[in-house]
Amino acid sequence: AQSVTQPDIHITVSEGASLELRCNYSYGATPYLFWYVQSPGQGLQLLLKYFSGDTLVQGIKGFEAEFKRSQSSFNLRKPSVHWSDAAEYFCAVGTPNSGGYQKVTFGTGTKLQVIP
Amino acid sequence: EAQVTQNPRYLITVTGKKLTVTCSQNMNHEYMSWYRQDPGLGLRQIYYSMNVEVTDKGDVPEGYKVSRKEKRNFPLILESPSPNQTSLYFCASSPATLNYEQYFGPGTRLTVT
């Protein structure tokens, strides 16, 4: 069975600083990889996804993520954080189940605080 | 506007009183799913549905029921709620095939006293 680890429960960065959120997964092959963002009181919104091809993926709101097969990682990055980026971020992996449908497993989330 | 809607958004109830949380999507998606979100545990899948009349258990199905009589609707039923079902619930939908992201509803915060 697949699993997802987000080792940082809470991260604080200054506005304008760079950001990297870590995500590691466990699965026997390359899964489908996602990053979602949850703003306070909101549902989850997709930031970006990786299925194959170029290992550096661009997403919305200036985010990018890099898939590293050797490290089983899919870390999320942003060069310059804005106060509006304060939210909770979830990494997720999708793998096919026995019926051919996608089974998605979420990490426990990283809460980002942005300080002036 | 393409969206997933949930009702109610907030609900306080008592132990044992049956309740239903509705979920509806207007994107003609085949796949729908229910998650619960608890602090420190992330999102855990309760049930999912691949199509009308086809449902299956997720990771934490105990105490929940679902039905999928129409493609657009996927209600979550708690026949005898207990305090350990106090949580934030999300409905999501997706095209049925692999490699598609899920579209989430705004969430339903349930408190069972």
The confidence score (pLDDT) of residue B73 equals: 98
The residue of chain A nearest to residue B47, with distances taken between CA atoms, is: A103
Kindly tell me if the per-residue pLDDT of B63 is higher than 90: yes
Whole-number Å distance between alpha carbons of B73 and B66: 10
| Choice between A1 and A92, residue whose per-residue pLDDT is larger | A92
pLDDT the model gives residue B99 = 63
* DSSP three-state, residue B33: strand
User: In angstroms, rounded to a whole number, what is the distance separating the alpha carbons of residues B59 and B82?
Assistant: 18
C-beta of residue A53 within 8 angstroms of C-beta of residue A72: no
Nearest CA in chain A to B41: A108
pLDDT digit string, tens, across residues B8-52 = 999 999 999 999 999 999 999 999 999 999 988 999 999 999 889
Q: Percent of chain B, pLDDT > 70?
A: 96
Residue A94: predicted pLDDT: 87
What pLDDT is stored for residue A53 in this prediction? 86
Tokens of B19: 């309740």
Contacts 24+ apart (CB under 8 A), B60-66: B60/B36, B64/B34, B66/B34
Determine the pLDDT at residue A111: 96
Whether B98 sits inside 8 A of A42 (CB atoms) is no
Q: Give residue A104's pLDDT.
A: 86
pLDDT of residue B97: 62
* Mean pLDDT computed over A76-85: 97
From chain B, the residues in CB contact with A36 under 8 A are 104
Q: What is the pLDDT of residue B71?
A: 95
Whether A104 has its CB under 8 Å from any CB of chain B: the answer is yes
Top-confidence residue, B70 or A51 = B70
| Mean pLDDT of all residues in A32-42 | 92
Residue-wise pLDDT for A86-115, tens only, equals 999 999 998 877 776 778 899 999 999 999
The mean predicted confidence, pLDDT, of chain B is 93
